[in-house]
Structure 1
Amino acid sequence: MTYGFPPGGLPDQSVHPDGTAVFTSAYAVIPAVTQRDIVTSFLPGWKDMRMWVLARPLSGFAETFSQYAVEVMPGGGSDTPEVDPEAQSVIFVTDGTLTLNIDGAKHKLTDGGYAYVPPDAVWTLWNDGDGPARFHWVRKRYVGAEGVDLPEAFVTSDQETAPVVMPDCDGVWATTRFVDPADLRHDMHVNIVTFQPGGRIPFAETHVMEHGLYVLQGTADYLLNKDWVPVGPGDFMWLRAFCPQACITTGDEPFRYLLYKDVNRHMPL
């Protein structure tokens, strides 16, 4: 299994700068080709890391979450990765090996590894391997609810979690759900959606959940509001609430993406 990640580097001078990046009030497309070395950032409290910021709370952009693609060199990492005690995190590893310690429990994460870190957790993350480690990091400030406990930390993987086939689709559309949708402790889901070749979303989804989508594998034509946009590995899409969306797979391999959405809470008034 391979997982998309920013390519880094820099195109040579023969490449024309026309591109497929799009930024609108309803959606944004940040193609892999734009995720280069010159747009990386670094974080205080980290050693030998860099990251691409794909989404952040911003007027006219993401409202509920931030999303980073992070690369950590051997020996790099942090004993204080999170500075906001109200933030919860999902870590999804694309390649390499990471050692994650959550409240004293140590875990090894490799390709496809998935971890949920609740708010107020004490955690560390280090690359103890021989090569770079890369991961997607989704953060959301937790919204509590009366009578609902905080969710607990857990670690699993893409390989350990069986996809759930969607109804009435002949098996070509499935969702790897790392959290039970009925578990009201969670106010966000970060899942993997998989379409087999020829699969599609057969209607324009239009709903309240904000989305961040990072393409892990394969290609598709994706409907964003009124526009069909071709996407492939490493491309990131942001969709505001109620932005119509659908997709039709292209190519001869599965189309897979990491999907963020906010769920299970009253709408703030």
Structure 2
Amino acid sequence: MSSRTYHVPQGGLPPQTDLLSGRAVFTNAYAVIPNSVQRDIVVSHLPHWDNTRVWVLARPLSGFAETFSHYLMDIGPNGGSEIPEPEKDAEGALFVAGGQITLKLAGKDRELKAGGFAYVPPGYTWSLRNRGTGSAQLHWIRKLYQRVPGLADPEPIVTNEDSMTRVPMPDTDGRWATTRFIDPSDMRYDMHINIVTFEPGATIPFTETHVMEHGLYVLEGKAVYRLNRDWVEVEAGDYMWLRAFCPQACYAGGPGRFRYLLYKDVNRHMNLRQGAPLI
């Protein structure tokens, strides 16, 4: 059984005596959605999903983030879906933060507990069900797959963080490391899903500025994160959404580890025609 823990939303509503001020930020370069605003009143519900609540943390917005959506799902007992994905060209990444789910993919049932990860290629038939007696929490990242002539479609991936090896970033003595669920050298995949881990005191020691769009969900700990020109305090359960080229850096001051689930788009040419398909 995994000893790892991951933040899951608490839902509910704050008392009427709470102050209205908070840490939520939305700019033209980034957004911060704190854990305190992931409340019952802002949940969504999806067609063909039973006993399931969804916090939509990211969705394509013209002029802001363009490539992906990120759902944080609370799936009750016997909840789930037999027809979860409505887009035939969509790929998906699933990460279990709490409880356990049964994923049926390519005709085979897989039991995914906390830390479980699955990559679902476009065009695959899959279903998902919580067969336990308590709720399960699931991250679901969706993206339209960008096919390339001469490259085969990617294969499914089913694994768990416990079976993965962290890859230390160069020249960091392992204080900044990445768990890579998708092989970065495999050009068939056009998105990467990683877990990034900082030990107390570790940093991103320069201001990253790059074309890759990011979604970051804080799984554990706290830190100060540089977003564009601002230093923002973030903690477990917070979500950051970074537009392409938004400058970023990080200082993980402790006292414990700082860890987040990271999405980024990779391995494809830039679209030169607005509205044209990417190849």
TM-score by length of 1: 0.99
> Where does residue 259 of structure 1 map in the other structure?
262
Deviation at 1:61, TM superposition (A): 3.1
> Where does residue 66 of structure 1 map in the other structure?
69
CA-atom RMSD, angstroms? Answer: 0.7
Give 1:97-176 correspondences, 5 Å limit.
97-176=100-179
Identity %: 59
Q: Aligned partner of 1:119: which letter?
A: P
- In the alignment, the residues of structure 2 paired with residue 174 and residue 98 of structure 1 have an alpha-carbon distance, to the nearest angstrom, of 28
- In the alignment, the residues of structure 2 paired with residue 77 and residue 175 of structure 1 have an alpha-carbon distance, to the nearest angstrom, of 30
Give 1:1-269 correspondences, 5 Å limit.
1-269=4-272
Runs of 4+ in 1 over 6 A off after TM superposition: none
Deviation at 1:154, TM superposition (A): 1.5
Deviation at 1:252, TM superposition (A): 1.4
- In the alignment, the residues of structure 1 paired with residue 63 and residue 7 of structure 2 have an alpha-carbon distance, to the nearest angstrom, of 26
- 1:182-223 Cα deviation digits (max 9, x unpaired): 100000001100000110100000000000000000000000
Kindly tell me the number of residue pairs found equivalent between the two proteins: 269
Alignment gaps of 5+ in structure 1? none
- In the alignment, the residues of structure 2 paired with residue 129 and residue 88 of structure 1 have an alpha-carbon distance, to the nearest angstrom, of 26
- In the alignment, the residues of structure 1 paired with residue 239 and residue 42 of structure 2 have an alpha-carbon distance, to the nearest angstrom, of 15
Q: Secondary structure at the match of 2:240?
A: strand
Deviation at 1:5, TM superposition (A): 2.5
- In the alignment, the residues of structure 1 paired with residue 195 and residue 179 of structure 2 have an alpha-carbon distance, to the nearest angstrom, of 5
- 1:127-166 Cα deviation digits (max 9, x unpaired): 0111101110100100011111111111001111111000
26-35 or 52-61, which deviates more: 52-61
Q: Aligned partner of 1:74: which letter?
A: P
Q: Aligned partner of 2:12: which letter?
A: G
Query: Retained in 1: the 8 A contact 2:8–2:98?
Result: no
- 1:98-118 Cα deviation digits (max 9, x unpaired): 000012011000010000000
- In the alignment, the residues of structure 2 paired with residue 6 and residue 267 of structure 1 have an alpha-carbon distance, to the nearest angstrom, of 36
Q: Aligned partner of 1:220: which letter?
A: A
Deviation at 1:126, TM superposition (A): 0.2
- In the alignment, the residues of structure 1 paired with residue 264 and residue 181 of structure 2 have an alpha-carbon distance, to the nearest angstrom, of 13
- In the alignment, the residues of structure 1 paired with residue 85 and residue 12 of structure 2 have an alpha-carbon distance, to the nearest angstrom, of 27
- In the alignment, the residues of structure 1 paired with residue 11 and residue 52 of structure 2 have an alpha-carbon distance, to the nearest angstrom, of 13
- 1:11-30 Cα deviation digits (max 9, x unpaired): 10111010110000000000
- In the alignment, the residues of structure 2 paired with residue 250 and residue 128 of structure 1 have an alpha-carbon distance, to the nearest angstrom, of 39
